Chain A
């Protein structure tokens, strides 16, 4: 296993609490009085059937959907969450006309920040850590699906946001690529508060500190399962396998 290195320059860990969350869709409540807490510097996984509102919940925290009263999203330190969240989706969302390096540094470009040599060095360093050294000048079209998602991971990390929201980031990848990327993500995201929405119980149990199941209509978030040991856990870890049964029972409702 890789050495656990806390990335330099990551802001202090912060917890995130969603309370009294309410969302009505077409007149019917998707969820009501729902709450979820993301522990600081931990990976919280959210599983559940399609259409239960997992992605919507993630978008609420990301500030991509307007909050419906009385929903509140608060950070543990009392400061606003805006500008402290990084987002990673199922699609890699790489811009096809930019090089890999420019894609990694997209945030700085969009905010009109100067591209300092230190920032470029950091981007190159991150590309190396996600296993893509020497590919900085390539266009995304030249990369495989797994490589593209690695670039997306580097782009998420270079933002230095304390909170990272991931919406099924590995679900479009083949099994082996997915296992490798889970390991890489668990390692590189250490120290950040992460919400990972996923369909894959094994993925949740491998890299989550807390694993919640969201189900029902209106939906509720169940109590957390806490797999023992430090992520990333091996896929054939006895505890992981045992908990997978329990998790599948909870998912089946």
Chain B
């Protein structure tokens, strides 16, 4: 049913797009119609696949690194009082600097290769993961903590066996957000300076007035973002089977 609805929406949007191009008679190099984009997608499949592979690896490595670093930071913040006092302001201030403004610097430091894009993706993923998990760790049901204390649990044991599992749904929300923003980080990095990747391909196509190819690359990127979100969501739901369904499903519908 949900798939059906999505298909209907897609069909309506494509028709409207086609009608707009047909009615206004916009030239192909300003706004290509859906058929032209489909044609470009098919003609350049090999090229697109090659560049998509670069972008996808940047996204996946960035996601893994960002989630790992974010998780470690949140645990540190939640378990060491001193860390919270010193690092929390730093973390908040660091978010005041737009990460995208750092992209040229990262390219300068880490080069035109994948490293600067991975760093970029990691940076945009790090903050939502850290704050989501840290919030989750701070909001443990107080009764559980009382129970653990009367049972003679150490702080580390309470963290590992109670606070961390209880915060996993919060971490899952953070990872879902991260999965949605990860492609943005990678593409911005590619725009600033690179020799491959979908972002690079888009810039290149734009400069040569191949707007249909630009749209085709955009389409692949969009498909990645949706697939990544869906995969993350499915994976997280499988990892947290004890979570009531209303939590997992209602966000999507």
Contact = CB atoms under 8 A, between A and B. Distances in A.
Interface of A: 59, 62-64, 82-83, 85-87, 89, 91, 93, 95-97, 106-107, 109-112, 139, 141, 159, 165
The 10 closest A-B pairs by CB, nearest first: A110-B153, A87-B150, A107-B151, A97-B242, A93-B143, A96-B242, A93-B147, A110-B157, A110-B151, A97-B165
B150 A62 contact: yes
A109 B141 CA distance: 19
A112 B156 CA distance: 11
Contacts of A139: 242
B38 interface: no
Interface string B136-162: 000001011011111111000110011
Contacts of B150: 62-64, 85-87, 165
Contacts, number: 58
A139 B243 CA distance: 11
A25 to B, nearest CB: 17
A87 to B, nearest CB: 4
Contact of A64 (B146, B157, B168, B244): B146
The DSSP consensus for interface residues of chain A is: loop
B146 A111 contact: no
A89 B151 CA distance: 13
Q: Which of A62, A97, A107, A141 has the most CB of B within 10 A?
A: A97
Contacts of A141: 242, 244
Given A64-B150, A83-B152, A95-B165, A89 B157 contact: no
Nearest to B146: A64
Contact of A93 (B144, B168, B242): B144
Q: Which of A83, A109, A165 has the most CB of B within 10 A?
A: A109
Given A93-B143, A110-B158, A141-B244, A63 B165 contact: no
